[in-house]
A and B are shown apart, each in its own frame.
Chain A
Amino acid sequence: MVKFERFTLDNGLRVLIHEDPATPMAVVNVLYDVGARDEHPDRTGFAHLFEHLMFGGSVNIPSYDSPSQAVGAQNNAFTSNDITNYYISLPAVNLETAFWLESDRMLGLAFSEKSLDVQRNVVCEEFKQRYLNQPYGDVWLRLRPLAYHVHPYQWATIGKELSHIENARMEDVKAFFEKHYGPENAILVVAGQVTTDTVKQLAEKWFGPIQPRGKYTRQLPAEPEQQEARRETVYANVPLSSLYVAFHGPGRCDQGYYAMDLISDLLSRGTSSRLYRGLVKERQLFSEINAYHTGSIDGSLFVVEGKPLPGTTMEEAEQAIWEELHRLAGEQVSVYELDKVKNRIESTLVFSEMALLEKAMNLAYFELLGDAENLNRELARFSNVSTQDIQQQAIRLFRKEISSTLIYLSDAHA
């Protein structure tokens, strides 16, 4: 149970407070309601590049990091297809420094050319390190455009290609800031050894004077229901062949999300899970196999990925995966097996309540989804999923006509 208070400033900034007197620390988490899905198709990777620029100095503070480090803080940020999230964790006695830093970069950035030059390079190196210079690193650069033809989920947060980042201009940076980084597009969470009164006072003092810049209304094209199975085969310089099957599934707030999440657990969470037990241990067809989903807001991709052993043909591998998926659609899972994955959800939730930053991030994310109070209803929502729900969701999910299959064939075995 994560208790919190919340209020909204006149400029539209939503503020949530979670008091946790057991820690000497405080966390200030700022979630901006913008992600890679809000980018122009010819300027992808921009939300993430922009996240880097948020550390390049603001209108009154030349450097974000130095004063942060000087008060013993640690900070970072991440960008997803849906959101951009910034956090700073510091000794609670220095809480006001976090308000000073975070409010100034919401007020205005320094827009330094030097920072843009350097961060373009840094992000290009990140692109190479994570996506291009790794075996299978470009999976998501291929899988997303295969599964999505219309919705901006068709590109990864890093962007479609290096040139989009190389071509980013200062005027794009300024326009992006105006459009997405105003107070009405943000959620501020303050957690730790703090009091609601102090936070109210500090929020009014530092964020209150920021003028609203207009709420961004998202109008993204919906992905039409996929009608035909898609596949792509890549011959690549990878040591082992690899297989990815992706399905369109419910979004984070949709009916069916919880059943889908439990299905991924049934398939591959823990060493007793169906895919690991069946296909790695018993039938010995794969060296590794996993099922997971993106949990995105405008619909998820549910992915099964595996590396077949050298003696397994790709056809056998695919068929074996489909057999396991059809088994979930064909016969109801037992109450015992469903309880098993629910028990793991319970302990994971308890565990996450021992981490201050995770609590703060979760509050911000659930508030974005509609109501932070729903964080405390998660366990009940998982508990309410029945064996019938699992079967119904599996039937909807595991259909050839909504699947996209990506195959890496190793040059070594070609």
Chain B
Amino acid sequence: MMEIATHLRVIIGILCFALVGIIIELIRQNRLKEHYAIIWLLTAVSIFIFGIWPDTLNMISRIVRLHHLTTLFMVAFLFLLAIVLHFTLAISQIFDRNRRLTQEVAWLRFELEQLREPLRD
């Protein structure tokens, strides 16, 4: 059994609820896409679980045979890695779409100029 002081648990709990609150507010204000919010909600939930029931962390520590602090860093690191990979994928997709859009705008503008040309005379 690993013991965490009650006041620490309360702080972690409040932090997690604050994080979830901020995420929901950002979605509500249309500043965060639901698609990307999922990973943040998952983050909040994991922090909550590890914070309130640190034994879950101990369980993982036993499985990977590491000190629980090392396990904590490992889990956090893997999580951040996943988030960064997720963002890179998103950026790549946006890059491709942005590129095609710009190209299409270029020749639509060309077509528009062609259409306007005879009207000018």
Say if A and B assemble together: no
Binding site for B on A (CB under 8 A): none
Residues in B lying within 8 Å of A, measured CB to CB = none
